[in-house]
Structure 1
Amino acid sequence: MRITCLHTADSNIAVFENAAQELGLNHHEFRHISRPDLLAAAERAGGLTPEILEQTAQVLLALSQDCDRVLLTCSTLGAAAAVAAENTQVPVLRVDQALAEAAMKTAGKVVVLCAVETTLGPTGQLFEQTEKHPDAALEMRLVAGAWGKFKQGDLAGYWQTVAAAADAAFREGAAAVVLAQASMTGAAQFTQRGKPLTSPECGLKAVVAG
């Protein structure tokens, strides 16, 4: 199967390559396209505007012309996947859809951690709209200071900051902790209190199954 991933951070290419290897998906052909400009535009605009949504959907449509699946790995731009999917026969998935579905099956408090402010709205909306366990209680949190470290190229510091926030949530009784953005995945190896859910693992399983 030919799977094309659209990223908005170059560093996420390695994140998804590693996740695919760990899941034993090496027999599939992965192609990675990085468009940091799309996320940068959303950050400047303070969120996902109709123009950026349409631009992202057009990029996804173009990528769908020569592959079997398209996976959008950016949480801020996630809504563009559904727009693109309406105009192509090729499945176009957002990486955090499967993440939300897995998390909201949990009974108890589900804490979703975001590193960048533009992700809070789209991610919160996605999780709210996902079918959930009757006892699931959603809480969205922004990890203060994390995104600044990421933009400075301090990945280790970024992951440590996110891991500390995840451990704090587990300490406070969270039944599930979710790392909303793919770039946060590396933090899972540093947590002490529990294993957070990450989008590359959930998203890649879904794209192969779908």
Structure 2
Amino acid sequence: MIIACLHTADSNCAVFEAAARKLGLASDVLHHTVRPDLLEAAERAGGLTDEIARSTAAALGALAARADAVLLTCSTLGPSTAIVGQTPVPVLRIDAALAEGATAVGGKVVVLCAVETTVAPTTAVFSEAAKRRAVALEVRLVAGAWSSFKAGDRDGYLAAIAGACDVAYADGASIVALAQASMAGAADFVHRGPPPLTSPEAGLRAALERIAQRVSTVE
């Protein structure tokens, strides 16, 4: 079994490997491709453009030719999965799986984003899931967090996110969801509520479910 991951930050390879180990996956299941240029282009443009979406979709389509499932791990680029077209295997955006899991909890869902270009696509995918389940939703940007990440200050980055999680729980959140894969490590430092939901684990679970469905259909 091969799950191909398209990342925009090299550090997310380790994040997904940790999530895979937690789920009991073998060490050779995940295959990583890192394209920082795609996110950098989106940041320069102020968000996802048609051209960047097409480039992302082409990269996803190429990965689908040699995998059992493909995960797009960058929430800024998430809408690109809609234009990939026909592929032999499922191509999934991890934030869609996260949205399903978070809204299933019910109550008030607070979604945290670290980078501004993620806010619009994250709001769109979570709003769709929240509407289906009639739950309250709030999307928040963690001010200053992305600057810490880009400066290589991982501890400061995760501390800012964990602090924002605690604030969200103090404000009455039933569950907090961390919109970006790079935020996952902050879950270990949250004290005022349940561990926030993270996109790497949600995405991998969704991929495994889709792979199992395909196998059962073939059988």
The TM-score bracket by the shorter chain reads over 0.9
The residue number in structure 2 matching 1:98 is 97
Percent of pairs with identical residues: 59
Contact 1:180 1:199 in 2 (8 A): yes
What does residue 193 of structure 1 align with?
A: 192
Preserved CA contact (<8 Å) 1:6 1:60: yes
SS class of match (1:66): coil
Find the counterpart in structure 1 of residue 58 from structure 2: 58
Given residue 198 of structure 1, which amino acid in structure 2 is its aligned partner? T
Which region of structure 1 is more displaced relative to structure 2, 57-66 or 7-16? 57-66
Mark the runs of 5 or more structure 1 residues left unpaired by the alignment: none
Q: SS at the partner of 1:54?
A: helix
Distance across 2 between alignment mates of 1:106 and 1:97: 15
Aligned runs of 1:1-210 on 2, under 5 Å? 1-26=1-26, 29-84=29-84, 86-130=85-129, 132-134=132-134, 136-194=135-193, 195-210=195-210
Give the residue type in structure 2 aligned to 1:19.
A
1:97 positional shift: 1.1
Question: What is the distance in 2 between the residues matched to 1:157 and 1:69?
Answer: 33
SS in 1 for 2:48: coil
Does the 8 Å CA contact 1:101/1:132 hold for their aligned counterparts?
A: no
Matched residue type, 2:145: A
- The one-letter code matched in structure 2 to 1:48 is L
| Equivalent residue letter for 2:171 | E
Equivalent residue letter for 2:127:
E
The DSSP-based 3-state class of the residue aligned with 1:110 is strand
Amino acid at match of 2:110: V
Q: Which amino acid aligns with 1:111?
A: V
Shift of 1:26: 1.5
Corresponding residue SS for 2:37: helix
CA contact (8 A) 2:65 2:88 kept: no
Q: Give the TM-score of the pair, scaled to structure 2.
A: 0.92
In the alignment, the residues of structure 1 paired with residue 5 and residue 101 of structure 2 have an alpha-carbon distance, to the nearest angstrom, of 21
Instruction: Compute the displacement of 1:133 (Å).
Output: 2.6
The letter of the residue matching 2:183 is: M
Could you list the runs of 5+ residues in structure 2 that have no partner in the other structure?
211-219
- Residue 107 (structure 1) shift: 2.4
How many pairs are equivalent? Answer: 208
What is the root-mean-square deviation of aligned Cα atoms in Å? 1.1
Structure 1 residues 128-160: Cα deviation after superposition (integer angstroms, max 9, x where no partner): 1125433x1010100000000000011111000
Which AA in structure 2 matches 1:118?
Answer: T
For residue 28 of structure 1, report the CA deviation from its aligned partner.
5.8
Query: C-alpha distance in 1, partners of 2:125/2:118?
Result: 11
- Shift in Å at residue 10 of structure 1? 0.4
Runs ≥4 residues deviating over 3 A: none
Read off the aligned partner of 2:124 and give its amino acid letter. Q
Separation of aligned partners in 1, 2:132 and 2:174 = 14
Amino acid at match of 1:43: E
Larger fraction in helix: 2
Q: TM-score, normalised by structure 1?
A: 0.96
